[in-house]
Chains A and B, each alone.
Chain A
Amino acid sequence: METLALLMTGFAVASSPMNLALAALGAVVGTMVGVLPGLGPVNAVAMLVPVVFALGLPPESSMILMAAIYIGSEYGGRISAILINVPGEASAVMTALEGYPLSRQGLAGVALSLSAWTSFLGSVLATVGIVLAAPVLSRWALAFGPVEYVALMIFAFACLTGLLSDQPIKALLATGIGLALSTIGIDANSGVMRYTFDMPNLIDGLAFSTLVIGLFAISELLILLQSHRDGVSVKIERMGRNLFNFKEMRFTLPSALRGAGIGFFIGLLPGAGGTVASALAYSTERKITERRDPEGSRFGKGDLRGLATVEAANNSASNSNFIPMLTLGIPSSGTTAIMLGVLTLYNLTPGPMLFTSQPELIWGLIASLFIGNVMLLAMNIPLVGLFARMLSVPAWVLVPFIVVVSAVGVYSGKSASFDLILMVVVGAAAYWLRRMHVPMAPLILGFVLGGILETNLRRALSLSAGEVQILWSSPIAIALWGAAAAILLLPRLLRRALPAEARLSED
């Protein structure tokens, strides 16, 4: 009952005119960015970090805006996957697998509307899950001291390296680079300058928004140029019938529900997120179908059930991602890591305490997920044709525009040329790393969590006067260390369960 009252407070926050307008704006912008080939939720959220700050929004409003952009670009990502077979990000690869053949058969409209519906279903079910699970988990998380936090963060890094990438060593390297970058600047405990090289601009450390934009926006432009020059031209299929019918809905409902369930639990794991969830849901569904109904299976040639389950799983996981981020302060994807970084810019320490100290923020965000999803469904079914037209915007219009938004955003933070130059340098370095298949999500997670990890590590060792044994002195900590070890071994087993297409490193 208490939860219900809190949820009502959340709805009151989320339905203030400004927050409603922000959610709608975020949904539109998110979908538009998501549609653009190559740009996914991470890029969309990253570009808007400084803009959110320039607008001077209160924390709950900026979280609502970013969440709407995040969820919106998940909706948008499927449009380019289905229409032109170009998944905007790794988690849409499975969508393209079934969706593109459908649109080749003249069923693009059906595929788009059905995937919007199952996305909605997955999102809403996961948000209900957040409402039920988050308060319980946050109460449990209050028992966490510095020792448990250290173990938890090691577990999160283990998840990221183990689950996300087919080359764990590169994910580990990315984590290390992120951790190293987080040490730049003045050390709060001792006042010692670390790696500032006498540059006054580095005393406060690397600016979060500069780093994020360099990593995700600027490097993306270089990748875009690579695919623009080496890629093939785009041809959009005809829409055909605009809406799925009742029979198709009933036919795909069990698949969508299964996908939503798988997505929810995968999304809980730090580091897993939409890519793993959609891949796992797809292969599960394919196995179930081929066993029960081998004749009717059209998997690989455009099966509505495959599309339904993938979209439900993907969106369910992106929503349940919020649970570890909100309750433990451990983001499970690049996008939630960025949102967490934004919270710290507001001087809010992410974690279980937020539930008691900032109930408006937490419950406003959760309520806005419901509202945002309804808006997205209402928008996506009638307006899909309009969004699809974004695909024909030529790159020479788009790219300068992205540069301008990025540069203005970075400049507005500190008004320094230094940060603009840093943005380009980071972008070029990130492009080089991404070409080597070094994933970016662990890097940003390492950067965001590096400070918290170091503080907790030093606090724990202060408690024990330097004895390292304290790090595995509590049952929770031991369990987390064990889980971290298990997860590093798990991918070898998972790899056999996942189809080859899933083995993309997410960036």
Chain B
Amino acid sequence: MSSNRSLGAMALLMAGILAVFGWGLVAPFAYEPVGPRAFPMLTAVLIAFCGIVLLIGGGNDTEAVSRRTMTGIVMLTVTLLIYAVIFERLGYVPSTFLMSGIVARIFGASWIQATLSGAVLSVGSYLLFDRGLDVVLPAGILGGLF
């Protein structure tokens, strides 16, 4: 399937979700002629229209990426997702150290560079934001240390 077709299919799917979950949006007491449902429905129609045009038109203008790049993209996304999940549980400094090290490796750093930059970045930014700028960050498992 061409890239524009899959985009169009996604758009139709999104319009479908908007319509299905939006259909029941009715106010218990209506004070005005237009309720909470009309605008989401208009949006769904707009998105569905775009989806249909893309499906019919087809075409492909996504430049190909190498397999190695694709793995990198997936690895980076997963790393960031894990970072988001462990951010509060593990605490800011350890989770940032891990994230930063892995991301540095993905972008071509050596193990030593990744470890050092991860350590400097995690501790340094914690001191800057939490201590310096009063942005409260989760202390997590290292709670007693700082």
Contacts and interface: CB of A to CB of B under 8 A. Distances in A.
Contacts of A394: 107-109
Q: Main SS of chain B's interface residues?
A: helix
Interface size class, chain A: 35 or more
A400 B104 contact: yes
B27 A436 contact: no
Contacts of B34: 457-458, 461-462, 466
Contacts of B77: 222, 424, 427-428
A465 B33 contact: yes
Contact of A462 (B32, B51, B68, B129): B32
A173 B50 contact: yes
B109 to A, nearest CB: 4
A436 B10 CA distance: 12
Nearest to A434: B62
A1 interface: no
A151 B54 CA distance: 26
A461 B33 contact: yes
Interface in B12-56: 14, 18, 21-22, 25-36, 38-40, 43-44, 46-47, 49-51, 53-54
Nearest to B44: A180
B138 to A, nearest CB: 8
Interface in B68-82: 68-69, 72-73, 76-77, 80-81
Contact of A421 (B85, B105, B129): B85
Contacts, number: 195
B35 A190 contact: yes
Interface residues of B, number: 72
Contacts of B68: 229
A169 interface: yes
A225 B106 contact: yes
A183 B40 contact: yes
B118 interface: yes
A407 B84 contact: yes
A399 B103 contact: yes
B46 A176 contact: yes
Given A176-B50, A222-B73, A230 B65 contact: yes
A55 interface: yes
Interface in A55-109: 55
Most chain A C-beta atoms within 10 Å of own C-beta, residue among B25, B26, B44: B25
Interface of A: 54-55, 169-170, 172-173, 175-177, 179-180, 183, 187, 189-192, 194-195, 197, 218, 221-222, 225-226, 228-230, 394-397, 399-401, 403-404, 407-408, 411-412, 415, 417, 420-421, 423-425, 427-428, 431, 433, 435-438, 454, 457-458, 461-462, 465-466
7 contacts: A172-B50, A225-B72, A229-B65, A230-B69, A411-B135, A420-B84, A436-B3
The 9 closest A-B pairs by CB, nearest first: A466-B33, A190-B27, A420-B84, A396-B109, A400-B100, A173-B50, A396-B104, A396-B107, A176-B47
